[in-house]
Structure 1
């Protein structure tokens, strides 16, 4: 061992002995440290500053929400979020509104006339997605009420089909306006019908959706059209105030824009949740409705709001005494084709000829009918007093009788030349080897 090593080891030993003696002396002669008491100015509670930075009574520590079991509501929310995300993909980087309620009501009208496998498929889909009990207010609610919810339906049927009497009675119970015996080859009458429907549903949606259908959308193949509309108007339980000077709104690309119309209110007795910096707050209307507002973490794209995030967030909502809320007033309108949405959610067979059975609705065979398109128009307005929203969903079915057919004669074939009226055959032949033919 070198001299340097010995000196270092000996110095270390002496240093340790001195440190131990100093600590013993300090502990034996010093008085214990005392926590400084504080009195909360608000509730007069006494607390120690080494235990709490703020009053634990007025500012309780947020508890981690308990794990929530998978309920029917959370399952429905996840499915609705999947539908919404699929529908929103068609309109990226834009305001978008979608009404699952109107879609489910349109499919429910179809379910009432479906049979066999189509009935089983629709029943399973609706049971999984839509609420088991109706949440609608009484139809034709008075305009003076705080909350108004109304729904309307219409059915258009080509003259080559006939409604079952039992379905006609059910449709009338659902306040469905039936337009049957329609000749979809008569363009002038179709134009008049489209104008009539636009006027009727403009009234049902209180002018929010003035035009949703056109005679040009229908052709001679059209067999059946089901239309549903929903309208909602609700007054806030606590009206907002317009914030003086407006406020800033940060876009997803980081750009700040100034909004002139910004709403503000201290919402009392409402729900609030925060999970992984995602926040949700409920804003109640007068009556049994509320709006849930969801704010992602700063710098997080709204498109990352997965069904699981939303379900967990809403399941953890807890009552809080008051929330200071700032919200921009807004209006939004969307027109969306929902065919791709339904194709990706287990209903793709509705778009396949020969797979749809409507024995509970139509007299005779309906094997040729299939869904060709489903269009939804939605509008919403949110301001200081409340919310007004409406939607119209139009499902259109065609049949294969006059469908545009593509056929490629790329294999041996026969040909017949005949008189059109008498059927007298002039020539008949076959083509087996077109490559041997000479053309001049």
Structure 2
């Protein structure tokens, strides 16, 4: 058992080291669009359900965008029971760039969130589609920086998502949550460096409409209760000749609302982990990395908790922790330096690195006990998909000549 913990930790460290190397050596590409001239039209799709409290700030930030080209903001009200629709309607009346799309009934073929985004995409016709969330606030140069990072072959652009600006007051939870977002963003940035389009952030991304249509839109993955942004990134990245870019400019960053409590933080992570209960849609290599992270965190947590009664394995447990910390802590500091977030360096990084395996293990196990989803039935969806797969497979075996 002790040797297994150490070996898993070494594999995890090797992958983390490769991602850190890509992060440190990545070259900055010049923007494809000039500071003056023709910029492509953009449709910004913002799905919202019961977001009356946060929506005004998001709309105000989008109204202040300094994007040189034309853009429209499509606020998709997904059957809200509060004043979300009225707020969006007032914004549309005051600014011709804002439009309201109302979803009256759920789709039988798409998860609610995906259906809302799809409705917003269908309502527009711009060359680029940008998506964000109602609980986000955007700097004035967000859209310019995001679209301006695109190269001619790029089909997808994504950027950093933060839960706290530099200098904002926060305790242990605030630091841990901020650093957890940083770790996700740095990992995705490094994967993009290798040309691997396996994940994205639905609250800060843009993709070409032509590529979206060529990939078949959301396709069958639109039924997945969560993780639609990752699945779409994989569909777009699989197109022939397609490339992806991570927008590094500070103006391309989006501020999202923090969870506010440890319970809410763990529930959010449980919901995120639950998306991987639908392995039929994910690339095997990406899924293997997720499984490795869960296995590493779970084995290290169990070994650490049992170490006081397991004297023979204590040395191996300490070696596993040392191998992880010696790569993760410096790697996070390199990433924070590149981001200009030195305020998160020092003890917050060490605290996050020590807590990370424990809460990953907790939410991984919790996700199996009580799967979470984004306002959709993950369990029922999974059963329907496997039932359909079983009947298709059985039909091919019993009646090979039928279609």
TM-score by length of 2: 0.22
Q: Which has the higher helix share?
A: 2
Q: Which has the higher strand share?
A: 1
TM-score by length of 1: 0.21
Considering Cα pairs closer than 8 Å and 6+ residues apart, tell me whether 1 or 2 has the greater RCO.
2
